[in-house]
Structure 1
Amino acid sequence: MTITRRTLLKLASLAPAAKIVGIQMAHADDRTFRHALTLFNDIKYPADFKHFDYVKPDAPKAGRVRFGLVGSFDNLNPYTFKGEAGGAVQNDTLLTSSLDEPSTEYGLVASGVWHPEDRSLVVYRLRPEARFHDGTPITPDDVIWSMQALRDANPFYNAYYKNIAKAEQTGEHEVTFDFGQKGNRELPLITGQLPVLPKHWWTGKDASGKQRNIQETSFEVPLGSGAYVADEVKLGTSIHLKRVADYWGKDLAVNVGQNNFDTIEYIYFRDANVAFEAFKGDQFDWRTESSSKTWATGYDFPAVKDGRVIKEEIKLEQVEGMQAWALNVRRNKFQDARVRQALNLAFDFEWANQNLFYGQYKRSRSYFNNSEMEAKGLPSDAELALLNPLKDQLPAEVFTAEYANPLNDTPQNKRKNLRQAAKLLSDAGWAITQDGGKNVLKNAKGEQLTVDFLLDSPLFERIALPYQQSLELLGIGVTIKTVDSAQYERQVQNFDYDIVVGNWAQSLSPGNEQREFWGSEAAKRTGSRNLVGISNPAIDKLVETLIFAPDRESLVTACKALDRALIWNHYVVPMWYIDYDRTARWDRFGRPDKLPDLSTGFPTIWWWDEEKAKMVKQK
């Protein structure tokens, strides 16, 4: 189960549409509503819990926190896939996650939840006190409307909530969703992730009398219901949020000790180098560092040396998903797996790690790195039970070898890998010819093999440029193009690229989002996260097996089988990962003695420390 996206302010997963119609459902007297849902394990916090263990319940409510983001935004409606949205609105969800359990959600807008053992439907009871910021109650009608409106507005939600077939108000404060299928263990929980939107606002008119449309971009701040509300927006430049003093949910156990800052500000910078200089100049407070070079060499400025800026590596218990050069197999030139494998042989990770990354990274060898779901060794008997029926549709190596990336650790290995890549390209029908003293690969039609890298950050140019040199030695023509974030988003949504940087974050409980990553239906749908364009019946079958796994052991087995099928198809050129967060902050904040296992919790469970802030100012 994953909810992620490219930036701090954007949503990360989404789903296909089914029309919501009425449900004929008898009320069973023996239904027992619970305060929380979990996938497989026991729920940690009982119904009468007062707060999560990882918060300070009496944390002071004061101060401010500022974030610096690279890019811009041209839209304030985060629910459409059009445009680049800024995070100007917060809408509470039916359930909310804890940060120290991998797959448990507790009631937020919903006070209780129930589903039958077969998970064919789920029922939510809403809190009568739940309110939007204009004081209007949150109703079952808002929940039902939100589900359909989000699926109509965004391919992500259309896919994520694909299996919700019907919805109806089944009580004064009760909503029932029917899934039209049994056994999808994750559907009740991902339904709980639904942001509840104000139907009356979205179906109304703006101040100028224009009808609002959730499917279109907008410069109007939408009505929310969360702990913060936008009070100032400078389009494309900054968004300023203030804490809602009378927020309806502030005293709920799931919110105690959280949302402690009076204000939160997001400041946008067009260039990553400018953003870093702004951080050094105390123009914003927190960085999660993405550049290994900057982490190794950039934090030597006076504020770090005198302790005003804290540089900290925070280790988390998390799966490291696949980051890679994603090869768009919708393009004919990438449909032959031998071509894709050749591109991996030419990528010199070892040189990049030593010369560009200061040895900070490990090479990705799995779509579930650093977890029990990573496929290692040869398939187990349980994995073979899933893989053998698909044997004719999978590479032979799935059954006979443990995957390992090519090593370019010595000059001899580099030459060996390039020779192997050249042979694979030749076997795939690409022959080397000479053009002005350069090697050029052409097929029988005389077409040259060229690849275009589409990037949205100069940080990746320094990685793509040496890769370009290796590819050109093989006779492949290479173009590297870096564009602004808005253009990049448009091209990626329309699959208008040869190669982009793909990043598929994984949770400790993978589920329905795997359809969005690798499914055949997602490959055809504009805006999906199937960046590679995978349309493989064997992959589809393994994804469905994973989604309908009845227990944790079966889930892990299905993940390993899927991992083998994906990695041996050479859909991507694996990059790298680290198993900790590189963070830097101006030392103005307090935090709980022990952070939760799954997140830094910043800024939600941190708080403003007035004494520290005074010390920073005095130094």
Structure 2
Amino acid sequence: MPIRAPWPFDAAGRRFLGRTVKRCGLALLLAVQAVPVLAAHGYAQYGDLKYGPDFTHFDYANPAAPRGGTLTLANPDRRTSFDKFNPFTLKGTAAPGLNALMFESLLIASADETASAYGLLADDVTMAPDQLSVTFHLRPQARFSNGDPVLASDVKYSYDMLMSKSASPGYRSMCEDVKGVVVLGPSTVRFDFKQHNQELPLIVGSLPVFSKKWTEKASFADITFEAPVTSGPYLIERYDAGRGIIYRRDPSYWGKDLAVRRGTFNFDRVVYRLYKDETARLEAFKAGEFDAIVEYRAKNWAKSYVGKRFDNGELAKTEFPHHNGAGMQGFVMNMRKPMFQDVRVRQALSLALDFEWLNRQLFYGAYRRLDSWFSNTDLAAASTFDGRPTPGELGLLDPLRRQLGPEVFGQIVAQPTTNPPRSLRDNLRLAQRLLAQAGWTYSDGALRNAKGEAFSFEFLDDGGAMSRVITAYVRNLEKLGIQVDQRTTDFALYQKRLEDFDFDMVSIRYPDSQSPGNELRDRFSSEAAGTPGSDNLFGLKSPPVDKLVDNVLHARTREELINACRALDRVLMHGYYIIPHWFSAYHRVAYRKELSYPQRLPAYYTAEGWILSNWWRNDLAPAKAQAQTK
């Protein structure tokens, strides 16, 4: 469910004299006999920018890639229809592809750096000496699809709409430390901050920008099929809300020659076709109805991507390595419900998941167990030498010692295993003891509390790939006397129930980040727990967690960030708020032979976004582009 937009600077009219030094990834320009000003073509939260002001393209893009042809894709998730072109409001389901193809922001992320971004709509960013504000200057050539220039007033208008109650509350949580937005001139806008937070320039730089004219016929909250007035490379050509949508390249797209855009968005048209279920989608791909598919089910990858078209080379399948953090995927327990409020109950429920059996019987050994909210990164508490808090972590945890259990200061939680000499039987016996300590004992055919009430809950599912896993998990819970009702619903109703926190247990994936920041407020803060539509599905209200999230947000160096994330991770893992699943360090992609991609892969990327932005059709490729084809 939770999804985050990708992280999206003007020498014109401004003169700087003097020498350049480095600080926090920004060029610190010292004007002669003037107050020091932080300004640059990009921003790095920690360290230095990889690309200088005169770079020509990102290393993972192919500037010689030919442009043309059509890329046809299937629905990237389980939405089978859509009812709006506004991806920022809670009500309704937005068409696929809108964010990536139509909306732009002041900055755009580099996919081979962590927490670094470069100018897109903006060509300059100036950081105030006290770092309590940042000023962007817009590129004079930036244009909306209707030909209007992108102005500072549009940036402010977009911000105001995203901060309104009509928009997803995730935007308000991310921008909680933003005091306000000030228009300084037609092309200059300043964001003022409540306090120092090095991530804030990236956050405000990543916000989508759109024209006021988009809402001329309907308010922001009521926009349905009004075509967005945006600055991105594509326009909506036509659509059928129940079947799909076609985007065509804007022939007047203003940014095609920017360094950050060279070699990207190479297709004349992008088509999304909607399929009712995963089986139909896979069979449609094998029949040649669309061009590429990202596979998340290990069984499908092992068993279903076979046949004549694969044998003769018409279709290819490749596992692409990545360096993404693993994020967190797992079974979320809604602590707004009484039966999940005791940590011993939550720990017991985690003991009933037999990962080794699932990996062996269902996943063909393709996965590793998640052991952290920041798995596959140096931010994970489990990555310390002996699993115990480092001195840096203790400096943050010790002031909270009275509010934390003593176990937090010991070794990090180890995930249950059924590898010998352990077994599922051993784990269920331990779970039974924990449940008894929490007041739940087996009586009259069910696990009951002192009032005689049976331990029962509903597992809400949208009918996706987790169904087999949920069934196996429920089978183990039944051995403990826990009654589970598996409820399957359609995607739209599923999303609505999550937004209203109307569920007991669900399976969720939270996206990864190499440099976590304000999204953690939306995910873990006490305030977000009471905000419908937030990512705090757990109902977590914990002052220590609130404080540790603030420590992450206010980290000034990478070392401080690591210590803060590890301390937060340690507390979250000992709280058993989620039953962790598994991850893979590869993207599994199958595609038609007519598609190609650059030899150099990005380091941090989603497969769908990479295909959309960096691939091309090789049947259009000149010799120069072919030489860079993998």
> Under a length normalisation based on structure 2, what TM-score does the superposition of the two structures give?
0.89
**Secondary structure of the residue that 2:208 maps to in structure 1?**
coil
2:79 matches 1:71: yes
Is residue 32–residue 114 contact of structure 1 (8 Å, CA) maintained in 2?
Answer: yes
- For residue 596 of structure 1, report the CA deviation from its aligned partner: 1.6
2:49 matches 1:49: no
- Per the alignment, residue 398 of structure 2 pairs with 388
Alignment of 1:348-359 (within 5 A): 348-359=354-365
**Cα distance between partner residues in 1 of 2:553 and 2:355:** 33
- For residue 219 of structure 1, report the CA deviation from its aligned partner: 2.3
- For residue 194 of structure 1, report the CA deviation from its aligned partner: 1.3
Is residue 79–residue 214 contact of structure 1 (8 Å, CA) maintained in 2?
Answer: no
**Cα distance between partner residues in 2 of 1:263 and 1:284:** 13
2:202 matches 1:189: yes
* Range with bigger deviation, 288-297 or 596-605: 596-605
After superposition, give the CA deviation of every residue in 1:268-293 in whole Å (9 maximum; x if it has no partner).
Answer: 11111111111111111111101111
Q: Which amino acid aligns with 1:261?
A: F
> For 2:415, which of 383, 405, 414 is the aligned residue?
405
- Per the alignment, residue 181 of structure 2 pairs with 167
- For residue 401 of structure 1, report the CA deviation from its aligned partner: 2.0
- Per the alignment, residue 177 of structure 1 pairs with 191
> For 1:560, which of 548, 557, 566 is the aligned residue?
566
Is residue 63–residue 261 contact of structure 1 (8 Å, CA) maintained in 2?
Answer: yes
Q: Which amino acid aligns with 1:137?
A: P
2:614 matches 1:602: no
2:586 matches 1:572: no
> For 1:98, which of 93, 107, 110 is the aligned residue?
110
- Per the alignment, residue 460 of structure 1 pairs with 466
> For 1:335, which of 331, 338, 341 is the aligned residue?
341
After superposition, give the CA deviation of every residue in 1:480-512 in whole Å (9 maximum; x if it has no partner).
Answer: 111111010000100111111121222111111
**Cα distance between partner residues in 1 of 2:468 and 2:6:** 27
**Cα distance between partner residues in 2 of 1:91 and 1:612:** 28
Q: Which runs of 5+ in 1 are unaligned?
A: 14-27, 206-211, 614-619
- Per the alignment, residue 415 of structure 1 pairs with 425
Change (3 A) 1:597 1:11: closer
- For residue 40 of structure 1, report the CA deviation from its aligned partner: 0.9
**Cα distance between partner residues in 2 of 1:403 and 1:117:** 42
- For residue 216 of structure 1, report the CA deviation from its aligned partner: 2.6
Is residue 119–residue 188 contact of structure 1 (8 Å, CA) maintained in 2?
Answer: no
**Cα distance between partner residues in 1 of 2:361 and 2:62:** 43
Is residue 395–residue 569 contact of structure 1 (8 Å, CA) maintained in 2?
Answer: no
Is residue 38–residue 129 contact of structure 2 (8 Å, CA) maintained in 1?
Answer: no
- Per the alignment, residue 244 of structure 2 pairs with 238
* Range with bigger deviation, 447-456 or 401-410: 401-410
Is residue 5–residue 12 contact of structure 1 (8 Å, CA) maintained in 2?
Answer: no
> For 2:153, which of 141, 160, 163 is the aligned residue?
141
Alignment of 1:577-592 (within 5 A): 577-592=583-598
2:162 matches 1:150: yes
**Secondary structure of the residue that 2:123 maps to in structure 1?**
strand
- For residue 118 of structure 1, report the CA deviation from its aligned partner: 3.6
Is residue 316–residue 597 contact of structure 1 (8 Å, CA) maintained in 2?
Answer: yes
**Cα distance between partner residues in 2 of 1:383 and 1:106:** 32
**Cα distance between partner residues in 2 of 1:424 and 1:190:** 42
- Per the alignment, residue 616 of structure 1 pairs with none
**Cα distance between partner residues in 2 of 1:31 and 1:41:** 18
Tell me which stretches of 4 or more aligned residues in structure 1 moved more than 6 Å.
none
**Cα distance between partner residues in 2 of 1:12 and 1:99:** 10
- For residue 105 of structure 1, report the CA deviation from its aligned partner: 0.8
- For residue 580 of structure 1, report the CA deviation from its aligned partner: 1.1
**Cα distance between partner residues in 2 of 1:54 and 1:492:** 37
**Secondary structure of the residue that 2:48 maps to in structure 1?**
coil
Q: Which amino acid aligns with 1:522?
A: A
2:306 matches 1:300: yes
After superposition, give the CA deviation of every residue in 1:554-598 in whole Å (9 maximum; x if it has no partner).
Answer: 100111111110001111111111111111111112222212222
- For residue 114 of structure 1, report the CA deviation from its aligned partner: 0.9
**Cα distance between partner residues in 1 of 2:601 and 2:6:** 23
> For 2:120, which of 108, 111, 115 is the aligned residue?
108
- For residue 99 of structure 1, report the CA deviation from its aligned partner: 1.5
Change (3 A) 1:522 1:282: same
**Secondary structure of the residue that 2:274 maps to in structure 1?**
strand
- For residue 77 of structure 1, report the CA deviation from its aligned partner: 1.4
> Under a length normalisation based on structure 1, what TM-score does the superposition of the two structures give?
0.91
- For residue 410 of structure 1, report the CA deviation from its aligned partner: 5.0
After superposition, give the CA deviation of every residue in 1:378-400 in whole Å (9 maximum; x if it has no partner).
Answer: 11111111111112222322112
> For 1:85, which of 94, 119, 122 is the aligned residue?
94
- Per the alignment, residue 329 of structure 2 pairs with 323
Q: Which amino acid aligns with 1:418?
A: L
**Cα distance between partner residues in 1 of 2:6 and 2:40:** 27
- For residue 221 of structure 1, report the CA deviation from its aligned partner: 2.2
- For residue 412 of structure 1, report the CA deviation from its aligned partner: 5.9
**Secondary structure of the residue that 1:406 maps to in structure 2?**
coil
Is residue 458–residue 484 contact of structure 2 (8 Å, CA) maintained in 1?
Answer: yes
Is residue 6–residue 206 contact of structure 2 (8 Å, CA) maintained in 1?
Answer: no
* Range with bigger deviation, 71-80 or 562-571: 71-80
**Secondary structure of the residue that 1:165 maps to in structure 2?**
strand
Q: Which amino acid aligns with 2:542?
A: N
- Per the alignment, residue 292 of structure 2 pairs with 286
Provide the alpha-carbon RMSD of the alignment.
1.8
Is residue 325–residue 499 contact of structure 1 (8 Å, CA) maintained in 2?
Answer: yes
Identity %: 40
- For residue 48 of structure 1, report the CA deviation from its aligned partner: 1.6
- For residue 68 of structure 1, report the CA deviation from its aligned partner: 0.8
Q: Which amino acid aligns with 1:94?
A: L
**Secondary structure of the residue that 1:311 maps to in structure 2?**
strand
- Per the alignment, residue 25 of structure 1 pairs with none
**Secondary structure of the residue that 1:596 maps to in structure 2?**
coil
Is residue 588–residue 612 contact of structure 1 (8 Å, CA) maintained in 2?
Answer: no
Q: Which amino acid aligns with 1:230?
A: I
Is residue 589–residue 612 contact of structure 1 (8 Å, CA) maintained in 2?
Answer: no
Is residue 86–residue 224 contact of structure 2 (8 Å, CA) maintained in 1?
Answer: yes
**Cα distance between partner residues in 2 of 1:410 and 1:100:** 40
**Cα distance between partner residues in 2 of 1:536 and 1:258:** 44
**Cα distance between partner residues in 1 of 2:463 and 2:227:** 28
**Cα distance between partner residues in 2 of 1:612 and 1:304:** 23
2:210 matches 1:200: no
2:539 matches 1:533: yes
**Secondary structure of the residue that 1:602 maps to in structure 2?**
helix
Is residue 238–residue 266 contact of structure 1 (8 Å, CA) maintained in 2?
Answer: yes
Q: Which amino acid aligns with 1:400?
A: G
Is residue 76–residue 87 contact of structure 1 (8 Å, CA) maintained in 2?
Answer: no
**Cα distance between partner residues in 2 of 1:31 and 1:375:** 37
Is residue 442–residue 481 contact of structure 2 (8 Å, CA) maintained in 1?
Answer: yes
**Cα distance between partner residues in 1 of 2:123 and 2:505:** 46
**Cα distance between partner residues in 1 of 2:109 and 2:543:** 33
**Cα distance between partner residues in 2 of 1:576 and 1:62:** 39
After superposition, give the CA deviation of every residue in 1:440-459 in whole Å (9 maximum; x if it has no partner).
Answer: 01112221111211111342
- Per the alignment, residue 129 of structure 1 pairs with 141
**Secondary structure of the residue that 1:534 maps to in structure 2?**
coil
- Per the alignment, residue 230 of structure 2 pairs with 224
**Secondary structure of the residue that 2:614 maps to in structure 1?**
coil
Q: Which amino acid aligns with 1:441?
A: L
- For residue 117 of structure 1, report the CA deviation from its aligned partner: 4.3
- For residue 603 of structure 1, report the CA deviation from its aligned partner: 2.4
Is residue 153–residue 186 contact of structure 2 (8 Å, CA) maintained in 1?
Answer: no
- Per the alignment, residue 16 of structure 2 pairs with none
Is residue 6–residue 108 contact of structure 2 (8 Å, CA) maintained in 1?
Answer: no
**Secondary structure of the residue that 1:215 maps to in structure 2?**
helix
Is residue 433–residue 441 contact of structure 1 (8 Å, CA) maintained in 2?
Answer: yes
- For residue 350 of structure 1, report the CA deviation from its aligned partner: 1.1
**Secondary structure of the residue that 1:317 maps to in structure 2?**
coil
Q: Which amino acid aligns with 1:82?
A: K
- Per the alignment, residue 474 of structure 1 pairs with 480
> For 1:493, which of 495, 499, 515 is the aligned residue?
499
